[in-house]
Structure 1
C-alpha cells in the first residue's frame, strides 16, 4: 500500500504543479485576512502590541487554511466519478486505500506550504512565535487538514453531486469558523455562544495554536486539541477509504 500511496501522491502533486492557480487562490484569502483584518483586531484590546495581536490571530488563520483548503477538495473527485476515471482506478490493481491516501497527503503538503507562507507574512509584520510551538502548530494543522480532507472525500463519494455537497459544506463551515474565535476572540461573545463553542473541536485547535505560538506548552487546550483532531482524522479518513472500497464492489 505504501508504494501505491507514494505513486498517487506523486501523480497528484504533479497535477497540482501543472495547475497551481487553485493553491494560490487558496492562500490569497488568509493572507488578506492577515493584512486587513488583524489591524482591526489589534484595536479591540487596549495595550496589546502588534506582535501579541499577531500571535493571537495567525494560528486562527492557519486553521482557516487547513479547513477551507481541504473541505472543498472533494469536488475534483466528483468530476472524476462523473467521467468514470475513479471507477477505473478502483477496478485496477491499485490499492483502493492508496487512491484516497495519496490525495490526502497531497492536500497536507499543499497546506503546510500555504501555512509557511502565512507565517512568513506574519513574521514580516512583526510576529515572533516560539520555534517549537510553531513546529507543533504546523503538525496540528496538518492533522486538521487530514480531518477536513477525509470529510470532503467521504462526502463526495457519498453524495456524488456538486450542488448537494456545496450546500452541506456551506451549512456547516460557517458555524465552525464563527465558533472557533478565529475572527474575534470568543471572550467577546455572549455566554451561551462561549458554551456552544466548546463543543466545536476546532475551537480547541485555535486555542492550542495560540498557546503554542506563545510558548505555553502546558496549556490544557494543547493535549485536548491533538487528541480530538487525531481521533476525528482517523474516523473521517477511515470513512473515505471505506467509501472508495465500495466503488470497486
Structure 2
C-alpha cells in the first residue's frame, strides 16, 4: 500500500472506531449488565476454589487468596464472551439493512472490520479494571502495571476473536442459526479446556494434552502470571505469541471475508 492508501485506511479505521465508541457510550447500561455474570461467578464460584486450587499448589498453597488465581480467568472470560459476540451485532445490521448503507460509504471495507474489532478493547478495559479493583477488599493483590499489561494482551487477543466473529457473522447472513451454532459449539469447549474456571491438573491426561492446542490456554496462563506480579515468565511470552497469532489470523480471515462480501 502506498502512503495515501495507508493514511486513508488509518483515517477510516479511526472514524469507524469513534462511531462505535459513541454508540457504546449512548448505552452505558450494557456495560453494567455485562458485569453481572462475572460478578456472580466471583461471588458464588470463587469460594469453592479454596480446596481445589490449594490442593494443586495454587495461590492458597502459597498463602494467597484463591482470587489471585480466579480473577484473571474471569477477566479472560469477559474478553472471550464479549468479543465473540461481535458477529451477533453484525447480524442485526444485516437484517435491518444498515450494514449495506455503511458499505455504500467511501469507507474502506477492511477499515470497517478493524475499527469495529478495536472498539472491543474499550469495554474490555473498563470491565477488567472494575472487576480487579472490586476484588481488592477480598484479598486480590493488585499490581497496576501488570494489570495494564494483561488488559493490553487481552485487547490484542480480543481483536482477533472479534474479527473471526465478524467473519462468521458475514458467512451466516440470512442463517442466524449457523452463527449461534458455531459460536456456542466452539466457545464452551475452549472455556473448559483453557483451565479458566478450574485447574486442568484435576482433569484427565487427554484434557491436559488437548488444552495445549488452544491459544486461549496460553492467554489464561499469561494473565495469571501477570496477576502474580511477574513479567519475566515463559507463560507471559507464550501468551504474547498466542495473542499476536490470534489477532493476525483473525484479521486476515476477517479482512478477506469483508472484501469478498457484497
With normalisation by structure 2, the TM-score equals 0.88
Shift of 1:66: 0.6
Counterpart for residue 208 of structure 1: 222
With 9-18 and 61-70 compared, the bigger mean Cα shift is at 9-18
Counterpart for residue 31 of structure 1: 39
Are 1:217 and 2:217 counterparts? no
Alignment partners' CA distance in 2, 1:36 and 1:98: 41
Among 54, 57, 81, the residue aligned to 2:70 = 57
Are 1:167 and 2:151 counterparts? no
With normalisation by structure 1, the TM-score equals 0.93
Alignment partners' CA distance in 2, 1:38 and 1:72: 25
Structure 1 stretches (4+) deviating beyond 6 angstroms? none
- Tell me the alpha carbon deviations over residues 103-152 of structure 1, each in whole angstroms, 9 at most, x when there is no partner: 11211111111111111112132211333322221111111211210111
CA RMSD of aligned residues (A): 1.7
Q: Give 1:65-84 correspondences, 5 Å limit.
A: 65-84=78-97
Q: For structure 1, which runs of at least 5 residues remain unmatched after alignment?
A: none
Alignment partners' CA distance in 1, 2:142 and 2:22: 33
- Tell me the alpha carbon deviations over residues 136-189 of structure 1, each in whole angstroms, 9 at most, x when there is no partner: 211111112112101110100112232110011110101000001111111111
What number of residue pairs does the alignment pair up? Answer: 248
- Which protein, 1 or 2, shows the higher relative CO under an 8 Å CA cutoff with sep ≥ 6? 1
